[in-house]
Amino acid sequence: MEYYYTKGDRLYVLNPGSGFKVSASVYEFLYEFSNSDSILVLQDYTNGELSNYKEFLKRK
């Protein structure tokens, strides 16, 4: 199970792990909507640095 939340222009994906002693993982993305609001643009943060790779997700 994953949990999602936003804060400002950041999207966080939390994975709490599968057991008591398994540490959680957190993924951080910069997110924005295109001018038409039908495309979500995600850009990954790795070690506090914004990556050059962008993923485009179209709303159905």
Provide the token pair at 35. 């001018």
The pTM of the full predicted model, rounded to 2 decimals, is: 0.70
Mean pLDDT of the chain: 85
Whether pLDDT at 19 is above 70: no
Q: Mean pLDDT throughout 1-18?
A: 86
Whether pLDDT at 21 is above 60: no
Q: Mean pLDDT throughout 27-31?
A: 92
What's the pLDDT at 44? 93
Q: How far apart are CA 29 and CA 2, in angstroms?
A: 15
What's the pLDDT at 22? 58
Rg (CA), the chain: 13
